Structure 1
Amino acid sequence: MASVRARKDTGLLLIDFRYRGERCREQTLLADTPGNRERLQKLADRIQRAIGQGVFVYADFFPASPRAKAQGSKSTPSPDAASPASASTKELPTFRDFAEIWFAESRVRWRKRHCQSMRDTLDRIFFPVLGDKALNEISRADVLQFRAAIAQRCGRGGQSLSAKRINKLMAQLKAILVEACDRYDLDSPARGIKPLKQKRVEILPFTLDEADRLISTVRKDYRPYLIVRLFTGLRTGEANGLKWCDIDFDGNLISVERTVSRGGDGDTKTEESKRIIPMVPQVRAAFEQQKANAKPDSEWVFHSPHGNPVDAVNFTNRVWYPLLRNLGLRSRPPYQMRHTAATLMLASGENPEWVAKVLGHSTTEMLFRVYSRFIPNLTRDDGRAFVGLLTARRGADGTPPVTGTSGVIAALSTAEKRALLAALASELTQAEVPHAI
């Protein structure tokens, strides 16, 4: 086995391995640090694999070494190779063959739509370029050339693919190559290739006034649909996939059980996305209005005139974008209705953990990362509450903390004292006075 050791005299690292029955020790100028040992161990592992497969060429790894000239430029089977014939390129599968195995093994954990999407990606994008190459023939240059080629492909609207889409394709390709190379003891050519820099997704929630304008202006048959999406935070597929059996009018609850798209019915995005959402009065009224006007023979809450679920593309192009143009609002996709619900819930002071559960997130991380910058703009000027707390506790001049009720009252301004007295008077007026015994 190839190993990494340090010289006793200099402390510098070297690679120690056996090739053609001889012990080879190649010196480096790297100091003995954990990082350098890790780097050299990866190189040592590659050397050992190449020797084991009978494809090791000394000059490829150590071109300046005196051994490189003596060993020549061609690889020959080493006595240390366990089975050179087993590493023959003829016995290694092509990318297409292994990808089919990988697809068959992975599809059991995928949703139906993702399975269909992955099948299409393999057939249209991966196989035409890499399908006939043997696994050990795919180089880092091939992977980079593949990325450059797909970057020139036309996406929606005739535009080139976005960095997000390219990174997604590269992540799928990397998953296949890493799995293949792990099984056949190869070095993956996709390792170390960094993703392209993506633009941050623009969050453009509507204000409460803008939401009211949308609701009052949209076609009456789509008014309940907008109310539900703006005030529940349902994803597009989740809203379109609602059935009347999911609506509990007695308990004021909505059960999210499925999604619907042009690809057909499917499971929710994650297990956390299967959830129960409380109905606020406006949402309940919207469901009741929709129920009164719904087709009696349709199980879907929001449906087309033929009783089928709402078509997201049709709604977006024929209802949503014309509505925004009519109101003079900035163009944005319907998904921003979900962001609107999230920002309004947080701005109203709801517990972030509760908001995360309503939106179908497993943690609050997404809320603080995506929406936090909108909250100060929707409530009060950022920092005022903190200043008020410090002022009440220490005084504006930084005097020591006051204690007791009298001290807190003394720290209040005249206007604040009057407001407090008015509130106390109101409480006393409304309180029930017990009868004297």
Structure 2
Amino acid sequence: MNIKHSGVRSRGNSILLDFTYQGERCRETLRIKPTKTTLKEASRKREAILFEIAMGTFDYLNHFPASAKAKKYSKQLGQSITIEQALKDWLKKTERHCQLSTIRGYNSAVYHHLIPTFGHLKLTELAVSHIEDWLDTLSISNKRINNVLSPLRLVFKDAYFDQLIDKNPLDRVRFLPVEQREPNPFTQHEIIRVLDQLQGQARNLFQFAFYTGLRTSELIGLRWEDIDLPNNRFYVRVVIVGRREKTTKTVSGRRTVELNTQAIEALNNQQSFTEDSHRVFHDDKTGQAWQCDQAIRKRLWIPALKAAGLDYRNPYQTRHTFASMMLSQGKNPLWVAEQMGHKDWGMIRKVYGRWIPNN
């Protein structure tokens, strides 16, 4: 085939276009069989490219969407990336520096909600109306909706920063208001009623929870090496989340907690059960250390409340009970914050203000 076209040549069963863009020589392949007609059409395509380059309207993505240079030079790369792909790429990147429990939450949001709903759209196609229509179909709490939208917000924030999109539709989607649940602590009489329904290790576990304010993850992660009975204190160093041991989520969470009389009593009683073991609190049914809070809630907590004739309150109320009890006794709010693992006493004032004496 002797026909010559500038910047166009055949190569096997394809046609190669050769042009210069932004000072770089570009060679792109058209996977069509070279013939007199196709070479002529390829030459016209090249002339159109050169014209667009001269006019400043050339977009690599429009002509060569599969080219590696499209990402480098495209002015509208967001048109070629689906939300599904962007979310999956973001998850891979995020897995490197997030806790396992956080990644599980992100995976749930991405694969159960975001990809099924928005995954087919390109980054540039998502509109606020898409999100609003989706919100109208949900029957989950505002807090859960905010959590589900979190990965999508982060993906679009990155896409806007990387200039893949010209505007971020998530900037116009407000966080939904979340109603703060009022603490519902137990009275001393109610604590006794609950503990009276328990015995052995179960009683020790909840007595220690009521009188230390530990989170359940901290409670089941407690090790005998963390206990300093001679000095009436213990150390919160690790937690159990998703059946795995890890360090506390925040620096303030890693702390020293003072032991009061009731907490010391619970530990002394517990020693006969597990003092030769690593973990302080064990599941009587399995003889092994607790691995998650759900089993504690279902097998110990709920039956104890029912037997005590009390309405259901989640186990976290043991933590609220400790805070309100200490404040009512006149303990310094800053001390209470330190005992509970808050970085300052702002949260104590906000959540437990009504238990702080005025004088």
**TM-score interval, smaller chain:** 0.7 to 0.9
Partner of 2:332: 351
Letter in 2 for 1:373: R
| Matches for 1:227-266 after TM superposition, within 5 Å | 227-266=207-246
Change in CA separation of 1:262 and 1:164 when aligned onto 2, cut-off 3 Å: same
- Residue 295 (structure 1) shift: 7.0
Decide which structure has the larger Cα Rg and report it. Answer: 1
Change in CA separation of 1:357 and 1:295 when aligned onto 2, cut-off 3 Å: closer
Partner of 2:75: 87
Partner of 1:168: 147
Structure-2 separation of matches of 1:80 and 1:272: 59
Does residue 1:368 correspond to 2:349, yes or no? Answer: yes
Change in CA separation of 1:80 and 1:239 when aligned onto 2, cut-off 3 Å: farther
Listed one character per residue, the Cα deviations across residues 113-166 of structure 1 (whole Å, up to 9, x for unaligned) are: 1122212322222212222321111111122223334x1xxxxxxxx3111111
- Residue 90 (structure 1) shift: 7.8
Change in CA separation of 1:295 and 1:251 when aligned onto 2, cut-off 3 Å: closer
Does residue 1:108 correspond to 2:88, yes or no? Answer: no
Partner of 1:52: none
| Matches for 1:257-296 after TM superposition, within 5 Å | 257-294=237-274, 296=276
Partner of 2:294: 313
Structure-2 separation of matches of 1:90 and 1:172: 17
1:123 to 106, 111, 117: 111
Change in CA separation of 1:140 and 1:279 when aligned onto 2, cut-off 3 Å: same
Partner of 2:280: 301
Structure-2 separation of matches of 1:247 and 1:356: 20
Aligned partner of residue 354 in structure 2, secondary structure: helix
What root-mean-square deviation, in Å, do the aligned CA atoms of Structure 1 and Structure 2 show? 2.4
| Matches for 1:142-221 after TM superposition, within 5 Å | 142-149=130-137, 151=138, 160-183=139-162, 184-221=164-201
- Residue 302 (structure 1) shift: 0.7
Structure-2 separation of matches of 1:119 and 1:93: 20
Alpha carbons 1:275, 1:360 under 8 Å: kept: yes
TM-score (norm 2): 0.74
- Residue 240 (structure 1) shift: 0.9
Change in CA separation of 1:293 and 1:210 when aligned onto 2, cut-off 3 Å: same
Alpha carbons 1:246, 1:254 under 8 Å: kept: yes
| Matches for 1:323-402 after TM superposition, within 5 Å | 323-375=304-356, 385=359
Structure-2 separation of matches of 1:359 and 1:143: 38
Structure-2 separation of matches of 1:190 and 1:224: 48
Relative contact order (C-alpha < 8 Å, sep 6+): which is higher? Answer: 2
Does residue 1:99 correspond to 2:87, yes or no? Answer: yes
- Residue 94 (structure 1) shift: 1.6
Structure-2 separation of matches of 1:88 and 1:312: 48
Report the count of equivalent residues: 292
2:120 to 128, 132, 143: 132
- Residue 230 (structure 1) shift: 0.4
Unaligned runs of 5+ in 2: 1-51, 61-73
Aligned partner of residue 169 in structure 2, secondary structure: coil
Letter in 2 for 1:180: A
- Residue 260 (structure 1) shift: 1.4
Aligned partner of residue 204 in structure 1, secondary structure: coil
Alpha carbons 1:143, 1:189 under 8 Å: kept: no
- Residue 363 (structure 1) shift: 1.1
**Share of identical aligned residues, percent?**
27
